[in-house]
Structure 1
Amino acid sequence: MQLPHIAARLYGTPLLINRSKLDVILSVLGSRIGGSDTNMIVPLSARRDQPTGSSGVAVIPVQGTLVKRTLGLEAASGLTSYTEIQTLLSAALRDPSVRGILLDVDSPGGETGGVFELAEFIRTASTIKPIWAIANDSAFSAAYAIACAASRIITTRTGGVGSIGVIALHVDQSAADSKNGLRYTAITAGAHKSDYSPHEPLSSEAQARLQAEVNRLYDLFVAHVATMRAVSEDSVRATEAGLYFGPEAIQTGLADSLMSFDEVLTEFNTFLTPQGRSRSPARAQTQVGCATHHKEFNMPENHEAPDEQTHERDANVETNSTLEATASVTDFREEIRRETQAIAELCLIAGCPAKAAEFIAQGLNEAQVRQLLLTMKATHQSAEILSTIDPDKTAIQEPAASVHNPLIAAVKKISVKE
């Protein structure tokens, strides 16, 4: 069976995929996309319509070669679409029994189209329910672009992350055509219509244009990782699209910890409990309270133990501090969830759901987003709503209005306590 539509998605277009895996794909597909023949068989993979998991954690697979749309080929080719992943995420967000989401990543990467939109969706969704990602065992290129949108990245001891780069291939089969007695003549309108044709050598001008697009996407990829991981773009570029495994992945800042899949599930479940979520803030409050009490209730000079009433008073104050801290954290998180959900709904109604993540990152509140969307519509600038990240910008500037934004204040207060 010939697969010319697959060839069009592999040749002459930039990809976010690990090079070794790309070579495997080309050898497997062989003559069906114009390459050499092969007898290799691609294993079948079952499509999932609902996330799997237990104890309130939804496990969503991000596995195989990633594409924007599978066109019904996922069962026969090991493809996973960004649309399928987002569908599973949406189902987990709607499911009241799901308290957290774990992305089970084992992928070399894939297509550029749709990957950054999915990553922005994940970052927005993580403000509603906690989302972690595990490299089990590979989170390379486009797969890492997805994983780094999670609030925490874990890798197994044999797992790897990285390959933050872009690659594009052009196959010149004109010599093979000639050998087979074939000669293709393209009748075109437009000087560049036949650029990247596999039936003729790649011109220097076409190569320069393809290189420029690769560079543009690379800038976008670098800025994306730097924003999601809160690191500098220079440090991301310094990886030079390398692969990082085990402890090295943590040293470079591309992952947070080393654990097995089962260990991650255990720790995630602990984190999702009220005690797990409030442990850090409550402990900080308790320590401050205890320090104050030690200062106010110094031991007498004769070193006699304080009376029972003092012990009881200290215990009551400490308990009240812990309860107040837990209640404050709960209130802050509820306010963040409500504000985020309102912004997401406004952007969905306006036809630009991917814009929600950008508005949230800028620190805009619900009223500001509503006014901005109305202004953009009134001035006939709705096309700008569909833009994503400007590759020429290295960071998102926080507006002055965000200084007095209660949503941002709540986030900062939670961060300090945790």
Structure 2
Amino acid sequence: MRRLKKFFTFLGIVFFILILFSIFKGFFSSKVAVPGEKIGVVKVEGVIKRSDTYVKLLDKLERNKEIKAIVLRVDSPGGVVGACQEIYDKVKEITKKKPIVVSMGSIAASGGLYISVPATKIVANPGTITGSIGVILQAYNVKELADKVGIKVITVKSGKFKDLLNPFREPDKGSLQILQALINDSYEQFVEAVAKGRKLPIEKVKKFADGRVFTGRQAKKLGLVDELGGFEKAVEIARKLSKSPSAKVFEAKPERTFLQKLLGEKTEGMLNNLSRVLNGEIKDFYLMYLLD
């Protein structure tokens, strides 16, 4: 018993030291913003599941008078339709006030392309993977497995189509028609966004908007990209567009929570996912602009 108490006391001391270390590290490593003209940078990385972080960062750069132009660094295979559309709207809004140059990284496909098209200019590496204009919705169906194991699920619903993607029953024709209509409408919205953002005829966009992917060089020939080059090229173009040749690069980063500072973002994300599972929040229903 004494050993157990000593062990927990030791853990408490270690945890307390970690907290102090995190606090002091954050205090001493905080950077003081240097005044002067700047090119703001926002990085969009990984699958886009939410828009709020990116929209807030873009909004701060929009309101900051020292920020003369913005470089949106996109390295994403896409994401949730609604989230991509909210970022698209914000980028489109800002371009009316200051230039936004998209710098495509290794991949800027599907939703990654969607959020890019309203920008003032788009720069991609020759080997960047982009395109994949389309919508996808996937769900698991475990009816056969449930039948073999002997699991029976009782569903009480208010309408015929309330459980469109119930994994414990085969989807009927009516359900699939409803889902296909969702896909088709979201696809049309994607095509319209590309056509408007890139100033291309809708019919031309539809000729290659079938889910196929392109290299940056191929995308330039199609009119999806303006220039070939990397991040520095995008910064150079941003400086020219804003007539601020000496502007310094300033990366806008989201404010990290205490847990993120202490445990790291991945650990906090894992704990949040565990909490969702324990609370029974395990079913996701997303329309995705995603390279799959």
Q: TM-score, normalised by structure 1?
A: 0.48
CA positional deviation for 1:274: 5.8
Matched residue SS, 1:66: coil
Q: Which range moves more in the overlay, 159-168 or 174-183?
A: 174-183
Q: How many angstroms apart in 2 are the aligned matches of 1:185 and 1:263?
A: 58
State the one-letter code of the partner of 1:256.
D
Q: Which residue of 2 aligns with 1:180?
A: 149
1:273 maps to 2:243: yes
Residue in 2 that maps onto 1:127? 96
Which residue of 233, 238, 257 corresponds with 2:207?
Answer: 238
Q: Quote the residue 2:39 is aligned against.
A: 57
8 A contact 1:170–1:202 mirrored in 2: no
SS for the counterpart of 2:190 is helix
1:380 is matched with which residue?
none
Task: Say which structure is richer in helix.
Answer: 1
Q: How many residues are paired up?
A: 213
Is residue 218 of structure 2 the alignment partner of residue 248 of structure 1?
Answer: yes
The alpha-carbon deviation at position 211 of structure 1 amounts to 0.5
Which runs of structure 2 are paired with 1:184-195 in the superposition (5 Å)? Answer: 184-195=153-164
Q: How does 1:137-216 map to 2 (within 5 A)?
A: 137-216=106-185
The equivalent of 1:257 in structure 2 is 227
Q: How far apart, in 2, do the equivalents of 1:275 and 1:269 lie?
A: 5
Selected match of 1:102 from 71, 82, 91: 71
Shift of 1:183: 1.6
Is the CA contact (8 Å cut-off) linking 1:111 and 1:142 kept in structure 2? yes
Question: Structure 2 vs 1, CA of residues 221 and 267 (structure 1 numbering), >3 Å: closer, same or farther?
Answer: closer
| Alpha-carbon distance in structure 1 between the residues aligned to 2:164 and 2:241 | 53
C-alpha contact 2:146 2:152 (8 A) present in aligned 1: yes
Structure 2 Cα separation of the partners of residues 119 and 140 of structure 1: 14
**In structure 2, what is the Cα distance between the partners aligned to 1:61 and 1:235?**
30
Letter in 2 for 1:116: Q
Distance 1:267 1:141 in 2: 24
For the residues of structure 2 that align with 1:274 and 1:262, how far apart are their CA atoms? 15
Deviation at 1:160, TM superposition (A): 2.1
- Specify the structure having the higher radius of gyration (Cα): 1
Contact 1:160 1:249 in 2 (8 A): no
Distance in structure 2 (CA, Å) of the matches to 1:192 and 1:127: 42
Identity of aligned residues (%): 25
Q: Measure the CA separation in 1 of the matches of 2:245 and 2:233.
A: 18
The secondary structure found in structure 2 opposite 1:238 is: helix
**5+ unaligned residues in a row in structure 1: which ranges?**
1-49, 68-80, 277-418
Q: Distance in 2 between matches of 1:216 and 1:271?
A: 35
Deviation at 1:221, TM superposition (A): 1.0
1:227-376 equivalences in 2 (<5 Å): 227-239=196-208, 240-273=210-243
* CA distance, structure 1, for counterparts of residue 245 and residue 86 of structure 2: 34
**Contact kept in structure 1, 2:102 and 2:234, CA below 8 Å:** no
Cα distance between partner residues in 1 of 2:53 and 2:244: 31
1: distance between equivalents of 2:116 and 2:205?
15
Distance 1:88 1:202 in 2: 41
Structure 2 unaligned residues grouped into runs of 5+: 1-30, 247-292
CA 1:95/1:208 → structure 2, altered by over 3 Å: closer, same or farther?
same
RMSD between aligned alpha carbons? 2.3
Supply the AA of the counterpart residue of 2:62.
L
| Letter paired with 2:48 | L
The aligned counterpart of 1:66 is: 48
**Which ranges of 4 or more aligned residues in structure 1 deviate by more than 3 Å?**
52-55
SS for the counterpart of 1:168 is: coil
Cα contact 1:55–1:269 (8 A) shared by 2: no
Closer, same or farther: CA 221–140 of 1 in aligned 2, 3 Å: same
